[in-house]
Chain A
Amino acid sequence: MASYTGPSIEAINLSKKFGEFPAVSNLNLKIEGAKCVGFLGPNGAGKTTTLKMFTCLIRASSGQALINGINVRTNTKAALASVGTLIETPEIYPALTPREGLRMIAEIRGVPAEEREKRIENAVNEVRMGEWIDKRVGKFSKGMKQRICIAVALLSDPEILILDEPTTGLDPRGMSEVRGIVKSLKSKKRLIFMSSHLLNEVSEICDEVAMIDHGKLIVYDTIANVAAKVSGGANTVEVGVLHPIDQKLLAGKIAKLEGIVSADKRDDRTLTLRFQGGLDVQERLLAELVKLNIGVVSFKPASLELEDAYLKLIQATL
């Protein structure tokens, strides 16, 4: 086995047929390192099927699903030892409490006995279900169950998280909290592979995206590069500034920065900059804007960029 270089997920010619219907076709995808990767595609594209093959819920018709280089089919225990999962909305045995459900998973995963209770309480508190920890799960709402299952996924401090639409079933506040949780996990050297229908969610949380349609991988790259590919190389960033921006400054110095295609005001304190190039250009532009002392308080890829890219790429496969 190759030397360990960090968490990884790899699909090698991964295929799944339901009867004659090819749900996933020869998927080749390798994701390595601590990052968050969004897995996008329309309904029926093969996202959940792919995630289920990685978590042994269904078996591949052909090809391999590897986690940290270990085949999940032939060595399930070793492959899934480092993985926390949330696929659909799992149901905990209804007569158990969250504490007991989490304890069961903690024991299965070999969380040391002396750390078990603390980890359970931390995980449940992280999803804001602390006051329900000793109530039976049977009468919980879908959103409450979803939160508990996120706690289950975090419980063993896994280096890889496979999440299938983690905000499904949650109210807006719950969605925001879960996004916050996922974002906080990024800082803990984890590989997060997350499917979602919500493009703004993926833009907000993920570093990279893999798009799939009709069971085939369309693209896998950083969000900026994906957006650049479909917009003839132009990307868009939204820049938040502290003070209202001067039109002369915008049309002058800012619009003339190297790589800028267009510079517009969305409102008094937000600029929309279109530029040619990838992450390297984006980084340089940020540095130059800061040097202009215009009070940059935020700098992020425009969420619409991903939506545009998604629509163009998915439409191309119809």
Chain B
Amino acid sequence: MSQNQTRSGNTVPGSIAQIGIITKYTFLDYFRSRRFLVLVVITALIGILLTAAIGYYRPQALIADSLSFYSSWWGNITTFVIILTGIFFGGDAISGEFQNKTGYFSIPNPIRRSSIYVGKFLAALIASTLILAIFTVITIGNGLYYFPSGIPSQFGESLLFSWSYLVAVLGFTFFFSSVFKSSAISILVTVILFLFGFNIIDVVVSAFAHVEPWFILTYGAAILSSVFTVPYPPHVNTINAGPITLTTYVATIPEGLAIMILYFAVTIVLGLVFFERKEFT
């Protein structure tokens, strides 16, 4: 009898298979949850409001050409949708195991905590991707209505960057969710950072200190809207406003991708370390 085989003839599956099991049931829980429904409704509402507003006002700057359309619609709104899904599905993914006591159900089993962590991450990623897909369909639907000749290739690139950003945001939210035992605190910290903190640091560091904010995730994520500008915007812009010189930076595509990948890699590993060490006291 192997160590992972029990008297009753059960053979505990390998860690990869267990990740799949956690993913399957966590996704089922997410999919049926009220938060998923709320996100679908919010995403649909955003789409409907944009559709109605553009249909009614028909702003020339926006419907002049397909790049302007996708840039304004997708480039401006997607990051908000992504942050929202990241907070909804990642904000309490790990802290909820402690606060809601679901960890007492999942942890005392023959399974590694890392399998639970990765499984929950994948479930959150699938659920978030579904929300992003809904917004993508609404965007493409409107885009084809105004520009039936086709979808610009830049939209495909931006979609890929958006998904990369989603992965990085989820890694980040999982990290905060692992650090705090309270779901409310982890969600609050994530909201403050993504909606205010990163942007403020970005402006202060680049405009006044003249330092490229390569360490800010939202700076890297700007590539998902910059890609619609042809030619691609210059890396550095300096504006002289009287005695003050302001500098703005635009991440290049490789730089933006590297920032998102690094953010994901570092936060997912740190989050896992915190989760491994955290105790159910």
Contact = CB atoms under 8 A, between A and B. Distances in A.
A250 interface: no
B102 A55 contact: no
22 contacts: A56-B107, A58-B280, A75-B3, A76-B111, A80-B108, A81-B10, A81-B12, A85-B108, A85-B109, A89-B101, A89-B104, A90-B102, A95-B32, A96-B28, A96-B32, A108-B109, A110-B13, A149-B105, A152-B105, A156-B8, A157-B10, A158-B6
Q: Which residue of A77, A90, A107, A136 has the most chain B CB atoms within 10 A of its CB atom?
A: A77
A156 B6 contact: yes
B110 A90 contact: no
Nearest to B276: A59
A101 B105 contact: yes
Q: Which residue of A70, A89, A101, A109 has the most chain B CB atoms within 10 A of its CB atom?
A: A109
Given A57-B280, A157-B6, 10 more contacts: A57-B108, A77-B111, A79-B110, A93-B105, A95-B29, A95-B31, A96-B28, A100-B28, A103-B25, A108-B21
Nearest to A80: B110
A226 B75 CA distance: 74
Interface in A91-130: 91-96, 100-101, 103-105, 107-112
A82 B102 contact: no
Given A18-B281, A70-B3, A91-B105, A100 B25 contact: yes
B11 A110 contact: yes
A55 B108 contact: yes
Interface in B69-101: 100-101
Q: Is chain A's binding surface mostly helix, strand, loop or mixed?
A: loop
A178 B107 CA distance: 23
Q: Is chain B's binding surface mostly helix, strand, loop or mixed?
A: loop
B112 A92 contact: no
Nearest to B97: A91
Interface residues of A, number: 47
Interface of B: 3-13, 18, 21-22, 24-26, 28-33, 100-105, 107-112, 277, 279-281
A109 B9 CA distance: 10
Nearest to A104: B25
Nearest to B32: A95
Given A90-B101, A96-B25, A52 B4 contact: no
Contact of B4 (A81, A96, A103): A81
Contacts of B18: 108
Q: Which residue of A18, A89, A95, A157 has the most chain B CB atoms within 10 A of its CB atom?
A: A95
A93 B109 contact: no
A240 to B, nearest CB: 37
Interface in A62-96: 70, 75-83, 85, 87-96
Contact of B108 (A87, A100, A107): A87
